[in-house]
């Protein structure tokens, strides 16, 4: 059959219509990888991976071993899925928070971790999946996604004979969205803030009016608050507690590094907080625990639980304030691109997830639709902006109507 020479090796189509890969060794000989691939593109990926392994050996000054000998060594190193999973996760570049989450999910591979990687089939995966706790759908889906990604690496690894990923359960990586708490009202936010200890009362106000993540809010310093010429907040760090120590890192995504405007009505509260509660110096923490260190989320939640109950909102999680902030910003006419920037998101879908149902917006739009119906009945020009929205620009009015539609459909 036809053979094509590629950079660093060759790919040959066999009579079985599968593809054989050979890599050119330092002695000029061509060494087969020992497995075949269903498509030419898959074969090219395997060849590229083997070329990178050869180049790393050159760079490290270590002897290069032919693929089949390397495969035998790899099988010895990674006999089981558990060992291979640990190897893969350790080799990935991950944020500390992600690594912690993956470590928790890794523990849920019980029933698979002691099996040889090559022995894992779709039937094995199905049997393991059937034994999952059906009361934890979101955790199950996250575990399945991680397992599938690990086995994707195993499919590409010539150390194993997997031809396709055995994770083939339809819908296993998807779950029904968790019910979203309705957006908080201004009165509820005020009650919650007043019910917290004085040095934390600014936290829910910034959380709802600026919509940062908790990890970003807890990492704020004095230098991150700009009072003049305009009131702004710069978000460039995030903090998380991991394995008994504080980890300071960049925000969750590249888009998370941002400078956002703070509503001017918060100026007196912020100035009072800076004068009374924030740690001194440019790098002084804006919010601290009773011990003067970063706030542990669990410690804050002990007070948060009492505060939200005082507001009559025991269903309101702290993270829901971010959704309330996104909803308020959308109702104020903020476009989707600007909303993405304010929330620190790189995709529109990520921002839309945070929109919450707002009873006030629903009533406003219902009245606007009624006004439009009355205008049509009176012979007004179709498409004219409703009287209720006349104070907004066309873009703002369109955004408000689209927002209400999204909230009602969600």
Look up 322 and say whether it is catalytic: yes
Look up 345 and say whether it is catalytic: yes
Catalytic residue among 52, 77, 317, 319: 319
Looking at the structure, do residues 261 and 334 belong to the same domain, yes or no?
A: yes
**Bridge partners of residue 238, in order along the sequence:** 249
Looking at the structure, do residues 143 and 228 belong to the same domain, yes or no?
A: no
Looking at the structure, do residues 293 and 190 belong to the same domain, yes or no?
A: yes
Q: What is the pLDDT of residue 26?
A: 81
Look up 319 and say whether it is catalytic: yes
| 170 in any annotated domain | no
Q: What residue ranges of the chain have pLDDT lower than 70? A: 1-7, 70-78, 178, 348-410
| 15 in any annotated domain | yes
Q: What is the pLDDT of residue 388?
A: 43
Catalytic residue among 221, 354, 364, 372: 354
In the chain, how many domains are there? 4
Q: What is the pLDDT of residue 382?
A: 40
The last residue of a domain, from among 313, 335, 352: 352
Q: What is the rounded CA–CA span in Å between residue 20 and residue 264?
A: 66
Looking at the structure, do residues 311 and 390 belong to the same domain, yes or no?
A: no
pTM over 0.85: no
Catalytic residue among 22, 54, 322, 342: 322
Q: What is the pLDDT of residue 348?
A: 65
| 169 in any annotated domain | no
Catalytic residue among 345, 356, 357, 364: 345
Range of the domain at 31: 3-66
| 165 in any annotated domain | no
Catalytic residue among 12, 213, 313, 342: 213
**Bridge partners of residue 246, in order along the sequence:** 241
| pLDDT tens-digit readout, 156-204 | 887 787 889 999 999 999 877 767 788 899 999 999 999 999 999 999 9
Which domain CATH number covers 105? 1.10.150
Q: What is the rounded CA–CA span in Å between residue 71 and residue 157?
A: 9
Look up 213 and say whether it is catalytic: yes
Looking at the structure, do residues 211 and 291 belong to the same domain, yes or no?
A: yes
């Amino acid at each position: 059959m036809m053979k094509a020479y590629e950079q660093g090796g060759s790919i040959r189509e066999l009579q079985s219509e599968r593809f054989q890969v050979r890599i050119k060794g330092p002695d000029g000989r061509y060494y087969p990888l020992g497995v075949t691939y269903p498509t030419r593109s898959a074969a090219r990926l395997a060849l590229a991976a083997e070329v990178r392994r050869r180049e790393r050996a050159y760079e490290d000054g270590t002897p290069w071993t032919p693929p089949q000998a390397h495969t035998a060594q790899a099988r010895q190193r990674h006999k089981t899925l558990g060992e291979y999973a640990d190897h893969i996760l350790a080799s990935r570049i991950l944020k500390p928070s992600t690594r912690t989450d993956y470590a928790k999910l890794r523990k849920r591979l019980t029933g698979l971790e002691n099996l040889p990687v090559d022995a894992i089939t779709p039937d094995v995966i199905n049997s393991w999946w059937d034994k999952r706790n059906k009361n934890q759908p979101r955790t199950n889906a996250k575990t399945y996604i991680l397992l599938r990604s690990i086995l994707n690496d195993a499919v590409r690894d010539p150390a194993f004979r997997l031809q396709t990923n055995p994770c083939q359960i339809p819908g296993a990586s998807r779950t029904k969205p968790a019910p979203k708490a309705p957006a908080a009202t201004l009165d509820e936010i005020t009650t919650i803030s007043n019910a917290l200890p004085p040095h934390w009362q600014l936290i829910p106000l910034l959380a709802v009016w600026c919509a940062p993540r908790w990890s970003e809010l807890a990492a704020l310093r004095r230098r991150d608050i700009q009072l003049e010429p305009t009131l702004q907040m710069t978000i460039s760090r995030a903090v998380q507690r991991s394995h008994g120590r504080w980890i300071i890192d960049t925000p969750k995504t590249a888009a998370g590094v941002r400078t956002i405007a703070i509503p001017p009505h918060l100026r007196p509260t912020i100035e009072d907080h800076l004068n009374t509660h924030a740690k001194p110096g440019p790098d002084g923490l804006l919010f601290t625990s009773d011990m003067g260190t970063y706030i542990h989320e669990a410690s804050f939640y002990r007070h948060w639980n009492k505060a939200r109950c005082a507001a009559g909102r025991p269903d309101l999680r702290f993270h829901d304030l971010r959704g309330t902030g996104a909803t308020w910003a959308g109702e104020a006419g903020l476009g989707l691109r600007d909303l993405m920037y304010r929330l620190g998101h790189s995709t529109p879908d990520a921002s839309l997830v945070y929109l919450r149902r707002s009873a006030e917006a629903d009533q406003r739009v219902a009245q606007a639709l009624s006004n439009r119906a009355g205008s049509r009945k009176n012979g007004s020009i179709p498409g004219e902006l409703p009287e209720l929205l006349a104070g907004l620009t066309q873009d703002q009015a369109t955004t408000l109507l689209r927002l209400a539609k999204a909230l009602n459909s969600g």
